[in-house]
Structure 1
């Protein structure tokens, strides 16, 4: 299967991940960026066909909203506020947190999805993000709450 995976960021598992990348000879398919600026994150999202955030503990992840606003479908997990953003099969996919097999199957499904369908899912993601999480809408809600 032909793919390129960019792991944006850094963390305590980096050494282990780098070892696995070498062990499975995936240096041409998987890159780890280390810490990068928000502009670089944005550019990586724009360069990608989709975003994967397999999280255990997120509230309402900004990077998911950012990817959706940039018309990218998302793969994430059924935790906290993520299912409010990602609608399985509509604007992305959801899998079980901590279930590596579920994540692998979901990523494989996304990689086998035709590009025009990924683009349509990205459009739906964008519409959802703008309708429910636009900065002006959220600021107005916050202002109204503070005035109450």
Structure 2
């Protein structure tokens, strides 16, 4: 993600990237940000609450999760439920959620150039089109991953066995 930000900065794209969370890679990420002189583009929040994550998602244009190994990330569903398009990778269950150019963007895992291109496309997109993508994200996640629907499916499954 930091590598993609470096590409965007090199293209003179104006953006702000908020990295939410904390972990063992934080110091390495901070060094990379400093080495690439991206401090004016990237902010690291450290650990934040679920409510703060929602606030950041609501304040953003899109959510970016360039995963190498995920199942079905709840944070993607949370972003979509807040009407935010998502940029992520063709990994595990993620393509079940994201329909490219309809409710987000999918890129091959590890393809920094394509990730930067998707990020730039989301930045350049006019607000009306971005809102349409966000609405499509919302509709797809509530239709396919509504908690009441999922509980009913599980109950029906156990009743039938």
Common fold by TM > 0.5: yes
CA distance in 2, matches of 1:76, 1:57: 11
CA distance in 2, matches of 1:32, 1:77: 22
Instruction: Let me know the Cα RMSD of the aligned residues.
Output: 1.1
CA distance in 1, matches of 2:156, 2:54: 31
Do structure 1's residue 110 and structure 2's residue 112 form an aligned pair? Answer: no
Do structure 1's residue 29 and structure 2's residue 31 form an aligned pair? Answer: no
Q: CA deviation at 1:12?
A: 2.5
Do structure 1's residue 147 and structure 2's residue 154 form an aligned pair? Answer: no
- 1:68 is matched with 80
Could you state the TM-score of these two structures normalised by the residue count of structure 2? 0.88
The answer for unaligned runs of 5 or more in structure 2 is 1-12
Could you state the TM-score of these two structures normalised by the residue count of structure 1? 0.95
- 2:143 is matched with 131
CA distance in 2, matches of 1:138, 1:28: 42
Q: CA deviation at 1:103?
A: 1.2
Three-state SS of the structure 2 residue aligned to 1:11 is coil
Stretch of structure 1 that moved more, 7-16 or 132-141: 7-16
Q: CA deviation at 1:20?
A: 2.2
Do structure 1's residue 10 and structure 2's residue 22 form an aligned pair? Answer: yes
Three-state SS of the structure 2 residue aligned to 1:76 is strand
Tell me the number of residue pairs that the alignment of Structure 1 and Structure 2 aligns. 148
- 1:96 is matched with 108
Q: How does 1:33-52 map to 2 (within 5 A)?
A: 33-52=45-64
